[in-house]
Structure 1
């Protein structure tokens, strides 16, 4: 029975028994489950969603085995085009290119019978995404006349994602170096005009008018580049974030975790308003997903603060998915850290004041280095200001020597 795997005195998993009974994968999964400090009602969890709730979309993806593109590519597309100055309809076009199998008549041909699958602009070949935007003679002419002598037939375009990659990372054009940042905008407008021209011919019985298309592209480019000029990328030194001391009488606890394939480590660094390290703890931990380890680290720091009898504490973390449900009742935690989050909130009432604060990794470097040290040595430690290891001491001095930034709430 499950209760036989739990130590009823310490209310913790019997690690040795679990490792004996289960293979490595199952043992890791069981030990990753945090046992709540107070009983909670049973509930059903839908594993395909981080929030544990069922959705039609996740069920459809599960049953049809349709997977999204790699996260790095999807995030890159959203980040670059989401912040660009292109028209909203252009962003929708690029989103379709990046996130779906965006074929035209050849895709329709697989699903329904259509009389003529040829390209609407030239009529020479089957209309695919790659042909429409780069292989079609009409598209080539528009590209050549509108984008610094860009030659579409010299590009290696085999899939929709190749188009997105080309725009995100275009080759250097024959234009002044200070204008290179405008190349993606120009290319985006060319793609948008080709798509617009294709739809005019298809749905409005329009005619192919290359000079007019070039005129439209130049007009839009001038309009958008003028608007974006004030937001032209600058190459100034980025802002450096610094650890900030708490108010007098408070203790600030920075928390972090480090994860490897076979183990993980938790770390906590406590400092007062004079920036002096009161204590620094680290301990090894069984392997878990990074977000679960971060949640366990925050729970541990709350337990340590109670042991030290600190009444006013600030807990700083760089894990946004842990911070959000701790700082707002309206945010539902991901199902796999829910028990940890609720346990932390239960412990919060034991303090006179307890605040949670999210910081960037640069402001959490001392805790980060402490966690890495524990992970590398596979040892648990407790330090004070007089015996900090060299790497932790260097990170601590770096915190103290950096200039103060403005406060980030």
Structure 2
């Protein structure tokens, strides 16, 4: 565990600044955070907690499986590092805890190189887990190359999309795929499904920066709304669900560009549609952070599915602790 026994308070503060400001996807920072906290399920730790029968490495079976061993010292990991541009750096690392090793690496190379090294470590951890949990041997070099490309693609996109967010604001952005929200903000994807002559289904999916589905909600309303009114109602419903669940900072996303533009630049009108927009405007003021963006249908498939869910004998179905597998499976595809 990272604590005062290992680093001073200033050094610890610098460590967390490094971890959460890597400039990569949130899942990368979360992986590094887990490694620094010593909360990864390596056999050495599992054996200490009387969960595993022994503490030997799950891959080589020769040494105690610590975080450092899995990511840097195991023969599987060494094969990756020896073929990289960081071979001499990794081989020269002092044999200390992961946090101290990370600080040592950060003192030797640039932040871009640190991010690259940690991305490779993330890929090695993924390969290890595929072998341990799925009994699958993956092509490690190709897999790690994919992780590096993922981080590069994320940085290229986030550089165009994300800006510092300090107050309530609107941002009429557009994307062709689902993008995770920044730390501290949840993503609220919404969609509407019209069953002519019967009902309108409103779908809401709330996910965190790791892409984990936190809430899936469906409401059916027996009305004859057109597509624009239905999509606006879905936006309002998404904000209401987020408010009910206690989220204070949200990123609302819809595949209805006209609705996104109307919310982004409110106008005055007297039809029922504008009453919904008025509600949305009032709701937006209740959040510390409110961002809205447009996404193409391909990046909104989970909300598209949820809007079609059967609410059975009720007008609303809200899933929080137990999310249907069909929704979880579709959500995973957004992260690949």
TM (norm. structure 2) is 0.41
- Which of structures 1 and 2 has the bigger CA Rg? 1
TM-score, structure 1 length as denominator? 0.34
